[in-house]
Amino acid sequence: MDDKKLNKVLSQITFLVRTIVVTLTLLVTLTILLASGALDTLLPRNDLDVKESKTQEIVDGIHIETGLIDSPGLQLVIQNCTNCHSSKLISQNRMNLAGWSSTIKWMQETQNLWDLGDNEAVILEYLASNYAPKKKGRRANLENIEWYELE
Ligand code: HEC
């Protein structure tokens, strides 16, 4: 092998070794970051995490993890109502007590929601008082009126 060829082979080997070292360094860094939980906020998480979450931070009366209103019964709602679907399904709905009651019944009959026992009353009270139908701000417009002429 002449010098030229040897140099070429050597530089190829150097390049290969460098690439391997850089890749390994990146992998190790990533593993450490993942293990330390530093990337948790970047990773997708499901609602089950909410249950195990240790942060119960409340800001302006809103439970940050779930977006639910902080009010008596909140913890029961988090424990029983955020396992199968997002808490948004609750906060984006508005019903009176009867409506919430029949939604729960429907989930029990068709979606395997468990018997809530004594907690049901507390949960219903929470839902009906925090997620009640919005009152209309003003009288609704009159529609389909047949006006008559005054004589
Ligand atoms: C065992 C699983 C499960 C649990 C626990 C559960 N749900 Fe549901 N819920 C469902 C499923 C499934 C749907 C239908 C989801 C869809 O349509 O995407 C649903 C739908 C809903 C809806 C929307 C209903 C509609 O008419 O669109 C609301 C509101 C709701 N759930 C509230 C609650 C509340 C409040 C609790 C706690 C008491 C609860 N869920 C607990 C399974 C569950």
* Range scoring the smallest mean pLDDT among 16-30, 52-66, 72-86: 52-66
Mean pLDDT of 28-54: 69
Per-residue buried b or exposed e for 3-25, using 16+ beta carbons within 10 Å of the residue's own CB: eeeeeeeeeeeeeeeeeeeeeee
Res. 91: pLDDT tops 80: yes
Confidence of residue 1 (pLDDT cuts 50, 70, 90): low
Q: 68 has which bridge partners?
A: 63
Residues 6+ apart with CB under 8 A from 53: 65
Annotated domain spans of the chain: 1-43, 48-130
Res. 99: pLDDT tops 90: yes
Confidence of residue 44 (pLDDT cuts 50, 70, 90): low
CA of 85 to the centre of ligand 1 (A): 6
Q: Which residues line ligand 1 (CB under 6 A)?
A: 80-81, 83-85, 89-90, 93, 103-104, 107, 111-113, 123, 127
